[in-house]
Amino acid sequence: MSKSRFSILISLLIFSLFLLSCSTPSWFPIKKGPPHKAKTKELLNREVVIIDGEEYVKVLNPEVSQKGEQAKYLYVPVNEYLSKRETYVVSSVRKDEPRRDPISPKEPLISLKPGEVFAVSSPLSSPELKKKVVIAHIDDRTTHPEEKLGDWVTEKLIKELNRRSQKILCVDYPMIREFLEKRGMPLSGLENPEVLQLLNEVFGIHAVVLGQLSGPYVFMTKSPKDPEGIATAVIRIEVRLLETFTAKTMNTFSVNNPVFAAKEKGTFSEEKAKVRAIDVTVTDLSKLLSKEIEGLDWFCRVAKVEGEAVYLNAGKMTGLRLGDVMEVVRTVGLKERGEVKGKVQISAFFGIDASVGKLIHGRKPEANDILKLARSEGS
């Protein structure tokens, strides 16, 4: 394995840990581990899988004969199976085909065999495939050097994008900054085509937002009838949206709040006016950015190919589902699908947002190949 590919794979693992700051998942080693063993003798000849850290027994769906569209198998929690096992027809592990579990129980790799459907009551991923975007630190050009609003505005913009759109997944900027620093790349290099391409190949990032803010400018108006006065604040945020595949600027936006929208009076009126100006401006900016980002064509890349396993830099958080078929395509422009080299079916998830699949048609893909979700018949 070359050093560059090894470095990219390690970065993909680190990315999944940092993608959602509120999550603290365990990780799995990319190597085969010992077969999963049932805890009780009643399960020794039963097919047991681990889903989200819980054990399930594979049983035949009793309704499959009544309704042809029903899933052939169900996955029943172990405790429920043990208490009612006489009512279930189980799927036993074949003796001539030993079960393989490529990871440790701490971070289960959930597999899907061809023709099977999971019928477990676990959270379903969104049907929308999310575009990954980095909101870089917004350069603070405030009129008051002692006030540092850049980080705060960046955080508010990320929250507003997450609230507004189900098609956007914001990537942790401090992690990206650390990634670049370790490679001796200055943060200003986010505009560099080579850096943008690297972020796309390693983390699957589709776009980068660079911005700066000016203000807030605060004005006080007083009168004999209103000695306390009214505070008014104005702030301007300017951003550039860079697309990582072409390393080109998609669009630029310059947004400021209307004066009438940030008027406050009474105690701490100046501070309240500043906060109001920022809230209004960030909300308006998020509308423009979300529409532009959602318009991007979705794709992911092959992170690594090892034997029959094809590792992708997108997974459950992106919106992929077990059984999804991905087309490995030759792409000149993202809006054009081009020649299909092969097809890969998603067979397992690992970490927070990575997946592994198996080639089901065509030629074996290579690292950094582009994949798109296969079109359904008739589309």
Contact 74, 59 (CB under 8 A): yes
Are residues 243 and 308 part of one domain?
Answer: no
Give the predicted TM-score (pTM) of the model.
Answer: 0.66
Query: Could you tell me if 265 and 201 lie in one domain?
Result: yes
Is 13 among the domain residues? no
- Residue 105 located in a structural domain: yes
Please answer whether residues 236 and 252 qualify as being in contact, where contact means their C-beta atoms are separated by less than 8 angstroms: no
pLDDT on residue 147: 62
Structure tokens at 23: 């999550």
Average pLDDT for 240-256: 95
What is the token pair recorded at 147?
Answer: 């006030």
Strand ranges for the chain from DSSP E:
48-51, 54-60, 73-77, 131-135, 139-141, 168-171, 205-223, 226-243, 248-256, 263-265, 300-306, 309-312, 325-329, 340-350, 354-362, 370-373
Alpha carbon 66 to its chain's center: 39
For residues 181 and 217, membership in a common domain is answered with yes
The two structure tokens encoding residue 244 = 């990582």
> CATH number for the domain including 138?
3.40.50.10610
CB-CB contact of 273 with 233 (8 Å)? yes
| Shared-domain flag, residues 251 and 135 | yes
| Higher per-residue pLDDT: 379 or 16 | 16
3-state DSSP helix/strand/coil % of the chain, to nearest 5: 25, 30, 40
Residue 224: inside a domain: yes
Looking at the fold, whether 287 and 341 belong to one and the same domain comes out as no
More confident residue, 116 or 142: 142
3 assigned to some structural domain: no
Do 100 and 232 have their domain in common?
no
- pLDDT at position 59 is 74
Residue 259 resides in a domain: yes
314 and 189 assigned to the same domain: no
CATH of the domain at 316: 2.40.10
The reply to whether 287 falls in a domain is yes
Same-domain pairing of 196 and 240: yes
**Confidence band, pLDDT 50/70/90 cuts, at residue 339:** confident
* 8 Å CB contact between 224 and 275: no
Give the residue from 252, 268, 294 where a domain finishes: 294
The number of folded domains in the chain is: 3
Is 23 inside a domain boundary? Answer: no
What domain range is 342 assigned to? 300-373
> Do residues 169 and 237 both lie within one domain?
yes
307 pLDDT above the threshold of 80? yes
255 and 135: one domain?
Answer: yes
Give a yes or no: residue 24 inside a domain: no
For residues 111 and 145, membership in a common domain is answered with no
Match 């990319």 to its residue by tokens: 30
Residue finishing a domain among 229, 263, 294: 294
- 188 DSSP 8-state letter: G
Q: Are residues 289 and 304 in the same domain?
A: no
Summarize pLDDT for 5-23 with one digit per residue, the tens: 556 555 555 554 444 333 3
pLDDT per position as a tens digit, 134-192: 999 888 877 565 567 888 899 999 999 999 999 999 998 988 888 899 888 887 788 89
Of 120, 151, 166, the residue at which a domain comes to its end is 120
